[in-house]
Structure 1
Amino acid sequence: MKTVASILALLALGRSKKLLEDGKIQADAPSCVKVRCPKAWVPKVGHHTLEGSTPEECCDKTCELFECTGAYKANEDYFGNVGSSVQACCDKMCGSEYHCDVGYVLADSRAAGTTKEECCLPKCELFNCTAPWAPSAAKKEVVSDEPEQCCDQTCAMVNCSLPDWVVNESKASEVGSSPGACCTPTCGNAKTVCPFGHLVQEGAKNKSSDGTAESCCTKQCKAHVCSAGWAPDVSKQEDFGEDDGDCCLPTCKQFDCSLEDGWAPSNVETVGSNETQCCVATCKQWTCNATESWLPVPGKENATGSSNSACCEPACSIFSCNSAEGRIPVQAAATVGGSSDDTCCESSKCTQIRQNMTVLKADQHCNDLSEAECETKYFLHADGNSSAVVTCTFDDVYKLCRYDVAAAIKGGCSGMDAK
């Protein structure tokens, strides 16, 4: 039985002590006062009077810990509420299956709401456009109930009392939102776009335009196409003009350049009336400087040019033959034009052949020769554009003079013929 003294002792000790049935006091009963609630938990009502040692005994979960699923979505405004149910912690969503009336669309399936007012928005097909607005078929599916989004502006709303514009009453009820679409321009208006080579003359800028370039624009010389034998006069490109006399100058097409005198036609479209203006010199007028190893090129007299590089070719005397490969300059290299090994060089064997051998006669063959005269003869072989010098050589095995084909000199030797 609890005595008055034990009860008083209990009150003095607080809730951390427990009074037993026999009146004795049990020490160190756990108190929620010492428990700290975790994040998103709040102390239970009367927290400081409760016994316990865990968050579950001393604290309540808030809605911040509750997961809204299915047709419900979380609302941060409820995070501080104590609870763990959709009713306490969540908002019901409109849902993708929500049915809106004709002319309305589901605003947001994930938005919070349960009524048509909360879940549906009107389309422009329900909006009545009145003057100065015009109905717009293209905007029927737009979700709005404002004229700016549902209707087209008419020209009646456009201010045409601006510089270079005048009112066009016939367009008042037409759809439009700019002076360009609704007003009539004057010829001086930037809307008046002249084609290339046309311009509004100063005196025509205040004239009302009928909407065509022809009503405002005048042709300039830069738009005129000069006839054959005429070229544009660049100094008159910005002038107003209609014909060759206004806009053009005579060209070299009307001048004759004489090839016989060493002149070839230049650009016939060039403006001019003499050789200097209309012609270009040919190689007929140029003298190739042999002392500098330049030689004339046959057939190039009428080619245009006035320099060694254009009209001449270098002499073989300045070409370097590869002595390491047994190549030497051809005979009279100073009078032979060329810049290649094939043209300017020959085998070093050619010198010995010219000095010690003679060509076989037309009716002779190496096989006809005796051992004594065998190696004093050579044969010139020509096949199309290729040639070769083949010497006769005596075969000691067969005791026979034969053609030394293996040692043939391809390209031949300069100064050799079949005499």
Structure 2
Amino acid sequence: MTGIRYEDFLDLDYEPAASDLVCSFHVEPAADMDMESAASRVASESSNGTWAELQVSGGITDLSATAFDIDGSRVQVAYPDELFEDGNMAQVLSCIAGNIMGMKAVERIRLLDCEWPEPLATTFPGPQFGTSVRNDIFDAGDRPITATVPKPKVGLSTDQHAEIGYEAWTGGIDLLKDDENLTDQAFNPFHDRLTESLAQRDRAEEETGEPKSYLVNITADANTMLDRADAVAEQGCEYVMVDVVTTGWAAVQSVRERCEELGLAIHAHRAMHAAFDRVENHGVSMRVLAQIARLVGVDHIHTGTADLGKLENEDTEGINEWLYADRYGMNDVLPMASGGLHPGLVPELMDRVGTNVGIQAGGGVHGHPDGTHAGAKALRQAIDATMDGVPVEEYAEDHSELATALEKWGTETPR
């Protein structure tokens, strides 16, 4: 008979194996619990433990996680590779971010970071394209690609939506983008919007001589998303957009598989991420969510504005670094900066996040006093000025659209 106790899950002398998934947690023990006891319970509950001491007859596979390092409130736990099903992100998260989030043994717990071992990481496909979309689709050279969401983000008719797309594309925007809550509503049906927007895309490409594309939101149940991806490919579009957190990672994996068959890139909107990552001492960090997104295979993901926009951001620069870094030969991911951006913020944004990004502005394009076309030109002018090393104020002397944008918004961050 073999006894399994909480203390069996704590070993401060353990050296993780190369095949272990190592997770870092912020842990605040319950009032009646010391840190070592709380750490052992985190490892237990997230692997093969339970609250009662077990007497198990016969040999069993040892799938116990091990809490091996405690540094203040930071606890590191190593998980054996055999614990996980290959290529099943839902199952992985049920272990490392499942029941432990609700245990009474901890007052607060946050999954901060993961070190993904090669045996597990390579069971996921990773991005099909990654940052290569900047040149493979847009021939953008060294500059960031640009995107905009028609505003208001819901309520426009299909005709209005497509016309705004045309104005933005001809002003210099690369990508028209649906927002997170526009899917297939009566005021702007999915299939009509796809067809009419791409017709305007083609018109804009002919007039500008530049490639353009459309991030159409296919978010729905998994089967519907697959049908919509098929429709997108049939219409000659290069992208789909998915609300990856609200949809769920298993559904994203299904979309990734279909998109490889169709040759489509995936733009990941992170709506609902803050339900997991905004509280600093509980939940799942945006860093981990971005890691998951890369493993399951998105090509773009929103990572924030390095504290320049209207939304709270968690270490945009550090997350972007992880998305770029080599991970067992897996393609990288293009970070998208979005949320309260306008032309006056572009120089500082590019200084903080570089040029291998996408820059998305909604209100900062459509709120331009002279309309969407002028707003798109102003955003592109701000990027061009920064790429040329020219202060935007100086560049604006010969570019009226940028001058008007700077007069309206300056370099202030909206709230």
Q: If the length of structure 2 is used for normalisation, what is the TM-score?
A: 0.21
The structure having more radius of gyration, on CA atoms, is 1
Counting helix residues as a fraction of each chain, which structure ranks higher? Answer: 2
